[in-house]
């Protein structure tokens, strides 16, 4: 059976995926079944359906993934930055969560890389490139799931997951950019110069961009700003900078404008106007990230070879990686004795960032020995461990931002959540 897929078919198919994703949100909210699993299953079913009608491959899929990945990373970092509130009251939680996120990321990355290098991948750098995505905690899953925790635990988890996303993404791309540098001293020098140059340029650009943004009165200023950020990101990649720092700085300055626009600088901004722009960007990133995340999990499901899930080696490798992740987390939670080990130990899901970066591994560094099923099993296992732990503790899957949910319901009628409970 052979069917030609035209533009109308693609439009209908893409629309149905978004509709299914919306209903998966409702199912996840009512049953605590992670919607990420439902989206991955949908991708697997779509693949089987396309094979049935004679479609064996999607044209330009690598290019589509690269484009979606680039835009997705930008929106995810921007969304994370817009959630970070910098204040003296939050400082103890900020530094503690930052420290745990950084140490866990580094220890997990090198631990998993050692394991992959010992059993699967010959090259050490390639092993580390595969390990970093698996070491990153998913704020996409954590934030919409920890609303039932105590306030201090909830805030810690939100900050930790956000920092894990941002630090992991920067670590991954800094590694790729400096993979060919031979000496460790040259790597350190290159990284330091890269960060300093990027931070300096980012501050200059962000101050200018926010100042101009509040002066624009047309209704298209949000997408104009996104276009400028995308363009600057592209130029940053071309000149081997770390353009995600620019995106992070823009979000932080917008969400904490009173901190950055103090003293004489304060007279150049209108607080009420900046607040409206900030709210608009919150809504824009929520809506955009929902669509991007939906298609990425579906595409990831599409890329899975089902036979690999029955492979004992794949199951064993996945189990060891999960064991490394939770062992590292247990150690660092135990070091910070003020933090409760349970249930925080089990709230360490992997998700969208893992998939995004996994698809971002350079072709020359990809290993034929690494099975995609490992990534799927790690994501499924960590998500289910978190879900069962929260339910067992009488918490369940609850959004960490109920006020935002209420605002979204008011803005969108019957839409219960702009972001899937597992894909914030």
- Residues belonging to the chain: 424
pLDDT at residue 2 tops 90: no
Q: Is the pLDDT of residue 109 over 90?
A: yes
Integer Cα distance of 333 and 336 in angstroms = 5
Judge whether residue 419 has pLDDT over 50.
no
Q: Give the single-character DSSP code of 123.
A: -
Q: What is the pLDDT of residue 424?
A: 34
Phi, psi of 415 (to 5 degrees): -70, 110
Question: Which residue is listed with tokens 């960490």?
Answer: 400
Give Cα separations from 121 to 127, 255, 315, 410 (angstroms): 6, 42, 17, 51
How many CB atoms are located within 10 Å of the residue 70 CB? Answer: 16
- Domain positions in the chain: 7-412
> How much is the pLDDT for 397?
60
**Mean pLDDT on 243-258:** 82
Q: Which CATH architecture has domain 7-412?
A: Up-down Bundle (1.20)
Average pLDDT, the chain: 79
pLDDT value at residue 11: 86
Query: What's the pLDDT score for residue 145?
Result: 73
What pLDDT, on a 0 to 100 scale, did the predictor assign at position 291? 86
- pLDDT tens-digit map of 346-356: 989 988 788 87
The pLDDT, as a whole number, for residue 414 is 35
Tell me the mean pLDDT in the region 23-40. Answer: 79
pTM of the model: 0.77
Any bridge partners for residue 146, and if so which?
398
C-alpha–C-alpha distance, residues 111 and 131, integer Å:
8
For 145-188, what is each residue's pLDDT tens digit?
776 777 788 888 888 888 888 888 888 888 887 766 655 566 66
Separation CA 417–CA 30 (nearest Å): 13
Q: What is the pLDDT of residues 287-343, one digit of tens each?
A: 887 888 788 788 877 777 777 778 899 999 999 999 999 999 999 988 876 777 888
Q: What share of the chain is helix, strand, coil (3-state, %, to 5)?
A: 75, 0, 25
Rounded distance, CA 74 to CA 248, Å? 9
Dump pLDDT digits (tens) for 371-418. Answer: 888 988 998 899 889 888 877 776 666 665 544 443 344 333 333 333
Burial of residue 352 (CB within 10 Å: 0-12, 13-18, 19+) is: buried
Burial annotation 112-126 (CB, 10 A radius, 16+ → b, else e) = bbebbbeebbeeebb
Q: Residue 115: its pLDDT value, please?
A: 96
Asked whether the predicted pLDDT for residue 81 surpasses 90, the reply is: no
């Amino acid at each position: 059976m052979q069917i030609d897929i035209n533009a109308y078919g693609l439009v209908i198919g893409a629309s149905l995926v978004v509709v299914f994703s919306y209903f998966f949100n409702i199912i996840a909210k009512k049953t605590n079944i992670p919607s990420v699993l439902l989206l991955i299953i949908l991708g697997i079913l779509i693949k089987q359906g396309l094979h049935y009608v004679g479609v064996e491959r999607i044209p330009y899929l690598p290019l589509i993934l690269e484009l979606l990945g680039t835009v997705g990373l930008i929106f995810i970092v921007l969304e994370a930055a817009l959630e970070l509130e910098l204040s003296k009251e939050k400082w103890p939680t900020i530094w503690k969560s930052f420290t745990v996120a950084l140490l866990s990321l580094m220890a997990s990355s090198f631990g998993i890389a050692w394991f992959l290098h010992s059993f699967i991948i010959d090259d050490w750098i390639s092993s580390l490139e595969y390990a970093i995505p698996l070491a990153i905690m998913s704020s996409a899953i954590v934030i919409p799931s920890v609303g039932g925790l105590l306030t201090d635990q909830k805030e810690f988890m939100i900050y930790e997951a956000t920092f894990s996303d941002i630090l992991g993404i920067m670590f991954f791309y800094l590694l790729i950019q400096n993979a060919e540098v031979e000496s460790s001293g040259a790597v350190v020098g290159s990284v330091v110069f890269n960060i300093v140059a990027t931070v300096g340029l980012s501050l200059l650009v962000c101050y200018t961009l926010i100042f101009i943004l509040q002066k624009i009165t047309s209704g298209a200023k949000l997408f104009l700003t996104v276009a400028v950020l995308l363009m600057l990101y592209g130029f940053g990649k071309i000149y081997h900078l770390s353009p995600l720092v620019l995106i992070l700085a823009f979000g932080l300055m917008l969400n904490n404008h009173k901190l950055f626009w103090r003293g004489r600088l304060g007279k150049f901004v209108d607080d009420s106007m900046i607040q409206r722009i900030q709210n608009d960007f919150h809504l824009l990133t929520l809506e955009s990230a929902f669509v991007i995340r939906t298609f990425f999990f579906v595409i990831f499901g599409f890329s899975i070879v089902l036979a690999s899930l029955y492979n004992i080696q794949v199951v064993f490798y996945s189990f060891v990686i999960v064991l490394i992740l939770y062992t590292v987390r247990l150690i660092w939670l135990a070091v910070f004795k003020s933090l409760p080990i349970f249930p925080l130990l089990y709230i360490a899901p992997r998700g969208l960032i893992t998939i995004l970066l996994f698809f971002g591994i350079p072709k020359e560094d990809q290993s034929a020995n690494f099975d995609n099923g490992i990534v799927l099993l790690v994501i499924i296992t960590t998500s289910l461990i978190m879900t069962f732990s929260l339910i067992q503790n009488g918490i369940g899957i609850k959004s960490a931002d109920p006020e935002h949910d209420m605002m979204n319901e008011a803005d969108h009628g019957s839409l219960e959540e702009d972001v899937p409970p597992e894909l914030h």
